[in-house]
Amino acid sequence: MEAEPPPENRHDDHHPSTSGGGLGYFHLRLLCPAAPLLLLLLRSDRLYSLSLSRRRGPRLRLLASPRRRHGRRRRALLLSTSGCALRLTHRSSSADAVRVNGRPLLRGGCPADLAVGDEVSLLRRGTRYGFLVEKFVSCERPKLAAAEPCGEVLVLRAESLRKRLRAISESHDPLSFLRDSHCVENGSDDVRVKKAREEDVFLPLNLNAPIDAVAEEGLLREDCNLGQGKLEHCTDSAIAKNETDELIQRSKGSCDGNTEQKEYSNENTEQQHNENEGCYSDGSTFFLNRLIGIGSDVKVEQRSGVTLPQLLHPMDSLERVFIATFTSDVPQNLPVTIACHNKETCWSASRESRTAAPFGSYPNLLLVYPQFPEEIAFGKDRKKQGVACHHPKLLVLQRKDSMRVIVTSANLVPRQWHLITNTVWWQDFPCRTSTDYSALFSKVEESKSDFATQLVSFIAFLINEVPSQSYWINEIAKYNFEGAAGYLIASVPGIYARNPHYLESNYCLSRKQILHTKSAHRMFLGSVQTSVVGLSHRFHIPSDAGSKLKALSVLLSKCHVNMHGTTEVILKRNTNIPADANAVSVLVADLDKFTEEDSVHLGFLPREVAKWVSPLSDLGFFTFSGFIYPREALEAAYGATNTKVQLLLYVSKGPEFSQISRLIQDEHFPLLCSLVASLKRSLGLWRLEEVLSHFKWPETLETDFFYSASSIGTSINPQFIASFASAAGKRCNQDLDSEESDPEWGCWTANHELKKPSINLLFPTIDRVKNGACGIQLSRHLLSLPERTWQRLRSTGIFRDAIPHPYERIGHPMHVKVAQRRFESRLGRHSFGWTYCGSHNFSPAAWGQQLPPPKANPTEARAVSSGPRLHICNYELGIILIIPPSAMSKQISGRRHEINDIALPFVVPPPQYKLGDRPATSLAMREAMAEARILQSNDLVLDLSQDTDEDIPDEDDEHVIELSDCSPEEKEEEKIYAETLWEQVDSSQSQGKDQAGQ
């Protein structure tokens, strides 16, 4: 709580004096473990005593009435208010008991005049408590015309509020008192206030007022769900709405200001922090959010961080906003799409429950609940919901001339932007002169950035089941992302195999006839992992099953199998099937001398795939070709397995691809969105590896490798740590120029990790959390480290204390997820490496866990060799900033860009745990809370047990292992769809033969 000594001239422009005259209220912000940043209002014509209660535990109690008898021994502090003057007197015998701005206050009852910005601390039983003089609000009637009663009404309202607060505090049943909606207007002194409300008297709003932390504490939720009932009926949400509206109003009021754009560097950081102006970033670094309670000093304010109004400025030019967050409070009038977490709806199989709208107070708001796939549910049973959450923190702000992409670690709730340290990265991208759809399919190895590809792919994942929101795919294609300073790293729930290599195909899907055309590599856009449905029906009919199986076996034996074990099949449009005009048949044939009569009809594309494949092919925007594993298809046809037959759908540019921007219509956007969402991308650990593998990182020059996260998973073990380190570029061999062709050569393994740990994990100690400004209350739902994980890893020595930086943030909880691997040249003249920031915590749920190969059945030979698979539970998003080695590094303004230019939110190098240190595990925090009796009834202590700003479930090792045996099976609705198509295909073929015979 100690602060830097104040300047000699304390009553300068930045520490305005409270001296003067007039009625008003002092705002005191409590800073103590038992009262997390609560705001007290002191009337300026009263005497107050601030003391500690022994009977009810360590806390600060406000004794508003000077007439009550209190022993002199308990009067630790006296606050006398007269007019606009605030004076402090203490009667403690200790020389260091009371401090003002870190300096001891002299003994003997000598008073001290306090100014706005002063911090007072009191030592009590080894713990410091205190308060900050935040502001003084005058209630004197302003000089207005007689016809303008604003000042008088403001005084009346302030007096009414004071009386109501006193009545609540003295009530025997405060809850019943609050439920009485007439309690404010029953008193005779409040009649004029009521009359003013009825006459719609305008009361001026102080747009520069700080966010009230009392209202912050109103953001308590029953769970992490955000739904219509809570937005419209919940008092907590109404309080949060008022705060958000105030943020928006500030931004609207500042739209005429000029945005000063300044580059960021560690040596000369001048970030614009005026709430009346915006902010600028070139994307080469990240910033921190500005916290309440710091920044009153000019030097501190210049580095105190960025605010949400600054990021949204100017509000008037915003056209629409896309938000992806764990939980959120929202602007009221702006067109906004929010993808957020709901612990029930996200696991529902019903598409109708995937959105929520309309909202009476938010007419332009749509909530989207992204779905979790069945394969990550325990035992493939959605009732046994897996460990998963929708956890990204993304904001996309669209304007006519630019699009701002914001990747942060903060959820969109006031608490996380005002009280908790979070990282914020953003960059503005200009509008193109013409829409470019090819940018949506770029690759990381190409010269152009794949930022647009990753962004549009992630958004498509979230809105794929909401066709009305698919226009976002088209909007992103209007902006130029080639100048992106970083690489997006996304995680999406599912079980993934490695992306297949490009395969040259000979046949592609066509509406009119089966086309034989050689696909060119330059036209290839990507692949889609899908399946063939209907085998179980077609090949299990006794009448012709034998002949069909024999024909299939003969054809598959003749098919050319490529080096990846697949063979090409023919995709045929079925335009004459009434059940589905988009139906696509999968045919197996001898491609060297193809005739449709000699082919075998294997099955169909799933309905959900055919509904966008067929129209996009018909429009000429894309071409599609397919490959299967022949032995897998034969096994499924014989009934040896119930799993789906995989089909790799290769996507290339169609003949009309270059004309998409001219030909595309609104009804085509959902089709394009489904394609983009279905294309295979590298995710989680594999995306990290994909990005970093393009650079050579010299192991001998490494100086630091650490990860700071607010949550560390239950299933963290040497295997996962080694997988992360390997994906991050860690190698065991020193010969980086080796000609060894084995891709596993030099990879960092669990054995290497056990011998020499690769990475340090930053996590605060329990003592640091207990001594924070808010104590444990604000941290217990932010920090997650299971006790068993700590016990498993404590002997490795990889834990480091997470000390906030800069100094002013000490005592405030950190919710950052930051990783960095740093190198330094041999002569120490250049630092380079990479830095990650975003939403990924250090856990397999966020980054993915590599699964062991499926258990082999000794009685059955599997057709497909099982390669590595990655199991991801969460939706996550982050950004990785790369400073390459000197030979590849960028130069900005004539100066070499270095990784040391990125200011980190914690002290580096992070100190190792001392003997006896213990991290703030869930168990440690529960024990500390029990010892401090924080959960006892206390009128100044708010129970944050329902706070779910960040409620990250623990992982279960056993369930993760169980998932290794999961293989997708054909769903019942897919079987019904295929059976219907088979019946109509057979009927159509019979009619065709009859007509030919006639």
Give which of 765, 758, 756, 768 is closest to 729, Cα–Cα: 758
Per-residue model confidence (pLDDT) at position 226: 35
Residue 766 pLDDT class (50, 70, 90 cuts) = very high
Convert the pLDDT of each residue in 577-592 to its tens digit.
Answer: 888 999 999 999 888 7
Instruction: Considering only residues 741 and 105, tell me which one the structure prediction assigns the higher pLDDT.
Output: 105
> Tens digit of pLDDT for each residue in 359-380?
777 788 899 999 988 888 765 6
User: 755 and 613 in one domain?
Assistant: no
Q: What is the pLDDT of residues 669-713, one digit of tens each?
A: 999 999 999 999 999 999 999 999 999 899 999 999 999 999 998
Question: What is the band of 606 on the pLDDT scale with cuts at 50, 70, 90?
Answer: very high
Binned at pLDDT 50, 70 and 90, residue 744 comes out as low
Judge whether 70 counts as a catalytic residue: no
User: Radius of gyration over alpha carbons of the chain, in Å?
Assistant: 32
Least confident piece of the model among 14-18, 201-205, 395-399: 201-205
Question: Tens digits of per-residue pLDDT, 48-87?
Answer: 777 655 444 334 454 444 444 444 444 557 777 766 678 8
Beta bridge partners of 650: 527, 625
Give the single-character DSSP code of 530. E
Same domain, 592 and 525: yes
Residues 697 and 563 reside in one and the same domain: no
- 840: annotated active-site residue: no
Determine, yes or no, domain membership for 242: no
**Claim to verify: residue 339 and residue 441 sit in the same structural domain:** yes
The verdict on whether residue 262 carries a ligand-binding annotation is no
8 A C-beta contact, residue 722 and residue 845: no
Distance CA 421, CA 409 (A): 9
As beta bridge partners, residue 47 has 80
What residues contact 136, with CB distance under 8 A and at least 6 apart? 18, 24, 25, 26, 27, 44, 84, 86, 116
Q: For the chain, what is the mean pLDDT?
A: 74
Predicted local distance difference test score (pLDDT) of residue 600: 87
Which whole number is the average pLDDT over 567-572? 91
- Tokens for 62, please give them: 């406000």
Residue 40 and residue 110 in one domain: yes
Q: Write down the residue that tokens 């092919």 correspond to.
A: 617
pLDDT reported for residue 859: 40
pLDDT tens, residue by residue, 128-155: 677 888 777 776 544 444 334 444 445 5
Q: Is the pLDDT of residue 715 over 50?
A: yes
85-99 pLDDT tens trace: 788 877 666 666 788
* Residue 173 belongs to some domain of the structure: no
Say what the pLDDT of residue 249 is. Answer: 39
User: Crossing angle, helix 451-463 and helix 669-678, to 10 degrees?
Assistant: 110
**Residue ending a domain, choose from 107, 138, 169:** 138
pTM of the model: 0.73
Q: Is a pLDDT exceeding 60 seen at residue 302? A: no
What pLDDT, on a 0 to 100 scale, did the predictor assign at position 125? 64
Strand blocks (E) in 44-177: 47-52, 60-63, 77-82, 85-90, 98-100, 103-104, 112-113, 119-124, 127-138
Paired strand residues for 236:
none
- Please report whether residue 367 resides in a domain: yes
What's the DSSP call for residue 66? T
Same domain, 463 and 592: no
Q: What is the pLDDT of residue 942?
A: 38
Residues 646 and 692 in one domain: no
Predicted confidence at residue 196, as pLDDT, reads: 34
In this predicted structure, the answer to whether residue 796 has a pLDDT above a threshold of 80 is yes
In a domain, 156, yes or no: no
Residue type at 59 in one-letter notation: R
Q: What is the pLDDT of residues 634-644, one digit of tens each?
A: 888 887 666 78
11-28 mean pLDDT: 53
| Residue 327 scores a pLDDT above 70 | no
- What's the pLDDT tens digit per position in 230-278? 333 322 223 233 433 433 333 333 333 333 333 333 333 334 345 557 7
Specify whether the CB–CB gap between 844 and 684 falls below 8 A.
no
Asked if residue 176 is part of any domain, the answer here is: no
Kindly state whether residue 282 falls inside one of the protein's structural domains.
no
Mean pLDDT value across residues 790-795: 92
Residues 645 and 714 grouped into a single domain:
no
pLDDT value of position 401: 95
Where does residue 126 rank: exposed (0-12), middle (13-18), buried (19+ CB within 10 A)?
exposed
Domain holding 590: CATH number? 3.30.70.2330
**729 shares its domain with 591:** no
Q: Where among 120, 138, 156 does a domain terminate? A: 138
Number of structural domains the chain divides into: 4
Same domain, yes or no: 487 and 516: no
Could you read off the pLDDT of 826-872 as tens digits, one per residue? 877 789 999 999 999 999 999 999 887 665 444 444 445 467 889 99
Confidence at residue 383, expressed as pLDDT on a 0 to 100 scale = 66
CA 40 – CA 30 distance, rounded (Å): 7
What span, in angstroms and rounded, lies between the C-alpha atoms of 259 and 247?
Answer: 18
CB 75 within 8 A of CB 62: no
Residue among 418, 537, 601, 815 flagged as catalytic: 815
Active-site option among 391, 537, 781, 871: 391
Q: What is the mean pLDDT of residues 22-37?
A: 68
Lowest mean pLDDT among 186-190, 362-366, 563-567, 743-747: 186-190
Alpha helix locations (H) across 355-487? Answer: 414-418, 451-463, 471-476
- Name the DSSP class of 917: -
Q: Report the CATH number that the domain containing residue 333 is assigned in CATH.
A: 3.30.870.10
Among 417, 513, 480, residue whose Cα is nearest residue 213: 417
* Residue with the larger pLDDT of the pair 501 and 835: 835
692-697 CB contacts, 8 Å cutoff, 24+ apart? 692/727, 692/728, 692/729, 692/834, 692/880, 692/882, 693/729, 694/444, 694/445, 695/729, 695/882, 695/884, 695/885, 695/888, 696/736, 696/885, 697/729, 697/731, 697/821, 697/823, 697/833, 697/885
Residue 81 resides in a domain: yes
Chain centroid, CA 591 distance in Å: 48
**Tokens encoding 10:** 């304390």
pLDDT at 176 (0 to 100): 60
Provide the pLDDT for residue 514: 72
When pLDDT is cut at 50, 70 and 90, the band that residue 162 belongs to is: low
DSSP class of residue 190?
G
Q: Which residue, of 119, 138, 157, is where some domain finishes?
A: 138
Q: Which residue has the higher pLDDT, 908 or 592?
A: 908
640 and 728 share one domain: no
**Predicted pLDDT of residue 335:** 86
CB-count exposure of residue 300 (10 Å: 0-12, 13-18, 19+)? middle
In the structure encoding, which two tokens stand for residue 336, read together?
């906004």
pLDDT class for 404, splitting at 50, 70, 90? very high
Report the Cα 559 to chain-centroid distance in Å.
Answer: 47
β-bridge pairing 702-708 and 760-762 = parallel
Measured at the CA of 362, the angle between CA 358 and CA 368, to 5 degrees, comes to 55
| 481-499: average pLDDT | 93
Identify the domain containing residue 917 by its residue range: 686-734+746-853+868-888+897-938
Model confidence at 791: pLDDT above 70: yes
Q: Which residue has the higher pLDDT, 562 or 688?
A: 688
* 971 among annotated binding-site residues: no
Are 751 and 662 part of one and the same domain?
no
| pLDDT 10s digits, 932-989 | 764 444 434 433 334 444 544 444 443 444 444 455 666 778 888 888 888 887 666 6
Residue 482 forms part of a structural domain:
yes
CA torsion, ordered 132, 138, 139, 144, to nearest 10 deg: -160
Digit-coded pLDDT (tens) for 386-400: 678 899 999 999 999
